[in-house]
Amino acid sequence: MTELNIRKSGRAGRITFNRPKALNALSHRMALDLHAVLDEWRNDPQVALIVIDAEGEKAFCAGGDIAAVYRAGLAGDHGIGREFFRDEYLMNAAIADYPKPIIAFMQGFVMGGGVGVGGHASHRIVGDSTRIAMPEAGIGLIPDVGGTWLLGRAPGRIGEYLALTGARIGPEDAIHAGLADLHIPEKEWPALISLLEETGEVARINGPIPVSAPLAGRDLSAFGERSVSDIMAALEKTGDEGALEPLRRNSPLSMAAGLAMVRAARGDRRIQESLSREYRFTWRATEHSDFLEGIRAQIIDKDRAPRWTADPSDAHVQELLSPLGENELVWEERA
C-alpha cells in the first residue's frame, strides 16, 4: 500500500492520502512525492485540474509524521528535521502558486501539515465533519507549513487566537477565517469529483453561502494585546477561561514566537516570505525550543504533562527568527 495514491482520471490529476490508520499523517516521502507529481503535471495537457482527497472518515491529514524527527533530534541529529521541514515547505509553496486549479476535499481532522496541503489549494472544500486547527503551540512548535501566512490574513484577531490556543474550528468558522472556501455535504463529494474528472471545469463547483460562523460573533479583542502575558491578563479581566486554559497549557516560547510570526506575516507579500520565517524557527527547533519535549509529552509518552523550559523572551524569539545565512530556504523562481 502506497502512502499516496497518485493517478490520472479523465481530465483530473488525483492525489489521495492513503494512511487512514495514521490519520493520513504527512511523511517526508509523501511531501516529496506530492511535490514531484505537481511538477510532472504542471505542463501535462491531459491534466486540467488536480483533486486532493483522503481515505477514511476521521481525517484528511491530521499533521506531519514527525516521529523520525523526534528520534533524530533526541540523538543530536538535527539534519533530519531540517530536511523534512525544508521539503515540506517547498511543497506547500508549490501548491499555493500552482498554475492549475487544485481542489482539496477536507473531511475530519485537518491539522498542521494537513492545513499546509489543503489550506493553500485554490478551491478548499469542507464538510460537516471537518475540524481545522493549527495546534503546534501544544507541541512546542509554531504554526508552520504556511500557517502564519493564512492566520495573518484571518479577519480581526482570529489569527492570534488560533495560533495561541490551537483551537479546533468547524466548517463555517474555517470559511470565515479564510482557511476554507465552500461547505458541501460529504455525501455529495464523490459525484462532484466524478464531474470534475469528466469535465475538468472548476466552474462546476458551487455551494451555499454559510449562514453564520460562531467566531464572527466572539470578542477576541484581548488577542490584540502586545504580548502573551498581556493577552492573558486581558482574558483574566473578562473571565474567558475557555481561552485561558490552552494558554496556560501551551509552550510559552511557542506562543510568543507564533504571536510575533502571525503579526509579521501580515506584512508579507508572498507566502514564501512567511515560509522562510517559519523555517528559521523550525531549523532551530530540535535544538533550541520546546519541540522535543512537546513531542515526548503529547505523542511519544502521551503523559500530556510537558515540562516547558525554553526561554520565551523577546530576545530569544528574535534569535530563533534571525536569518540562517547559507541555510535559508532557496526558492526556485518560475517564469
Whether 276 and 221 have beta carbons less than 8 Å apart is answered as no
pLDDT at 212: 84
Q: Kindly report, residue by residue over 20-31, the tens digit of the pLDDT.
A: 999 999 999 999
Q: Kindly report, residue by residue over 97-139, the tens digit of the pLDDT.
A: 999 999 999 999 999 999 999 999 999 999 999 999 999 999 9
Length of the chain: 335
Query: Would you say residue 335 has pLDDT above 70?
Result: no
Q: Does some domain include residue 294?
A: yes
Q: Does some domain include residue 332?
A: no
Q: Kindly report, residue by residue over 285-316, the tens digit of the pLDDT.
A: 999 999 999 999 998 999 999 999 999 999 99
Query: Would you say residue 204 has pLDDT above 90?
Result: no
Calculate the alpha carbon distances from 226 to 170, 222, 223, 331 in Å. 28, 9, 8, 32
pLDDT at 333: 64
Query: Would you say residue 33 has pLDDT above 60?
Result: yes
Q: Does some domain include residue 207?
A: no
> 13, 63, 64, 170: which is the annotated catalytic residue?
64
pLDDT at 207: 79
> 113, 146, 152, 166: which is the annotated catalytic residue?
113
Q: Known catalytic residue: 144?
A: yes
Q: Does some domain include residue 71?
A: yes
The model's pTM is 0.96
Domain boundaries, position 234: 4-201+216-325
Q: Kindly report, residue by residue over 247-276, the tens digit of the pLDDT.
A: 999 999 999 999 999 999 999 999 999 999
pLDDT at 334: 53
Indicate the average pLDDT of the chain: 96
Residues 34-39, mean pLDDT to the nearest whole number: 98
Q: Known catalytic residue: 64?
A: yes
Number of domains into which the chain is organized: 1
Provide CB contacts within 8 A for 5, sequence distance 6+: 14, 15, 16, 18, 55
Side-by-side strand order, sheet with 131-133: 59-61, 109-111, 131-133
pLDDT at 70: 93
> 88, 136, 160, 278: which is the annotated catalytic residue?
136
Q: Does some domain include residue 209?
A: no
* Residue 222, amino acid: A
Task: Select from 1, 162, 132, 139 the least CA-distant residue to 67.
Answer: 139
- CATH classification at residue 226: 3.90.226.10
> 144, 160, 278, 290: which is the annotated catalytic residue?
144
pLDDT at 231: 98
